[in-house]
Structure 1
Amino acid sequence: MKFGKILGISLIATSFIFAHTFKLANTIKGAGPMVKEFNAECHYYEQFVNYITPDELKKWIDADKDFTIVDVRSVDEMKGGEIDWPDYDEYPRGDVAIYTAMGALKKKNVYVFLCATGHRAVLAGGELVKWFHFPKKNIYVLRGGVNGWLNSGYSVVNKVTNFGGFDKGLKTVKKPKEPIILDQF
């Protein structure tokens, strides 16, 4: 029994280590039709976006390329850490269309959408292309999301202190000792 649990945990951890190397998978598990529908919707919107790996994004950052990161995680998730980039917008998934309609996102700009694993980012970026007619060449999704970024060995910064409050400065979170799973999707 104990061996089975250890094997199961090892397989789950291994899947997250390599999550950034694969195309969006049916990683959302659970019972019921909503999960199946969510996965199907994510796969549908993949045709409207481009993927960027954590390594490619790091090269863009190092080269100081002109792009904006759009984080579509929930506000509480964002407190856990974000990629250190000066042009970083935080629009929770349900608000992206509203901000776009208000003119916050421009068709001529390049955007890299991210969430915890890439599922919500695919929906947000894909909707810009499909419904707001943004050029596909300007819309990217970080493969594996923040989980993929961290599991590739890159760091995030956050404003959360040890006591759960906010600090005046940003703190860097270094490479994790084990795979990070920030969210179920």
Structure 2
Amino acid sequence: MPEGFDPQTIWMVAILLMAFAAMKYVIPRLVAGVPFLEPQAVQQRLTAGEDVVIVDVRSPDEFIGPLGHAPGAVNVPLGDLAGRLAAGAGGLDDLKGLPVFVMCKTANRSPHAARLLKKRGFTNVAVVKGGMGAWKRAGLPVETS
């Protein structure tokens, strides 16, 4: 073993790396309690003409910013979602029967939004894995206005 690396240090580094991985990838999925779908799977459903909704929970500036948004996406910032659901405002209750795909920039905010939607009675909710960043990297259609 190289000098200066004792087994205890190596174990601590390994534990920290596993904790980071759990916080980044496992915990958001557990919090959401919904499936995570690849952006391509969501696009296939849109292309097939299925009646689906993409709820983008980024800020309005992010929604129309350089990264853009998925075509037809509805912008409901995460900070506004709970209030809109509680008040029944914004026609969100009308979407309960449809498949709802929740998207943010990287899938960090989306699990929280998906959980709120589930609590409010939405039964067909999924998170777009990797968010808008993954959507754009996959070369899928993007709108900026």
Shorter-chain TM-score category? 0.7 to 0.9
Match of 1:75?
60
Q: Match for 1:132 among 96, 111, 120? A: 120
Closer, same or farther: CA 25–62 of 1 in aligned 2, 3 Å: farther
Aligned match of 1:147: 133
1:119 matched to 2:108? The reply is yes
**Percent of aligned positions with the same letter in both sequences?**
30
* 1:54 and 1:149 in contact (8 A); partners too: yes
Q: Deviations over 1:105-132 (max 9, x none)?
A: 2332221110001111111011221x32
Q: Per residue, is there more strand in 1 or in 2?
A: 1
What TM-score results when the alignment is normalised by the length of structure 1?
A: 0.58
Provide structure 2 residue ranges, at least 5 long, that are not aligned to the other structure. Answer: 1-21
Taking a change above 3 Å as real, the CA distance of residues 132 and 78 of structure 1, as seen in their structure-2 partners, is same
Q: Write the letter of the residue equivalent to 1:148.
A: A
Q: Which runs of 5+ in 1 are unaligned?
A: 1-23, 28-38, 160-185
1:90 aligns with 2:88: no
User: For the residues of structure 1 that align with 2:36 and 2:60, how far apart are their CA atoms?
Assistant: 24
CA distance in 1, matches of 2:112, 2:61: 20
Distance 1:122 1:98 in 2: 17
**1:62 pairs with one of 47, 64, 84:** 47
Match of 2:17 in 1: none
Counterpart Cα distance in 2 of 1:97 and 1:65: 27
Distance in 1 of aligned mates of 2:133 and 2:86:
29
- Which has the greater radius of gyration? 2
> Which structure shows the bigger proportion of residues in helix conformation?
2
Alpha-carbon distance in structure 2 between the residues aligned to 1:109 and 1:61? 13
In 2, Cα distance between equivalents of 1:64 and 1:25: 36
Post-superposition shift, 1:142? Answer: 0.5
Conserved? CA contact 2:29–2:36, under 8 Å: no
Q: Which whole-Å CA distance do the structure 1 matches of 2:126 and 2:29 have between them?
A: 15
Aligned residue pairs, count:
119
Q: Deviations for 1:13-68, whole angstroms, at most 9, x for unmatched residues?
A: xxxxxxxxxxx9617xxxxxxxxxxx85x34313x212221110111111011111
State the Cα RMSD in Å: 2.3
Return the TM-score normalized by structure 2.
0.72
User: Is the 8 Å Cα contact of residues 122 and 141 (structure 1) preserved in structure 2?
Assistant: yes
Q: What SS does the corresponding residue of 1:119 show, helix, strand or coil?
A: coil
- 2-structure distance, mates of 1:108, 1:154: 26
Amino acid at match of 1:111: V
Q: Is the 8 A contact 1:71 1:91 kept in 2?
A: yes
SS in 2 for 1:55: helix
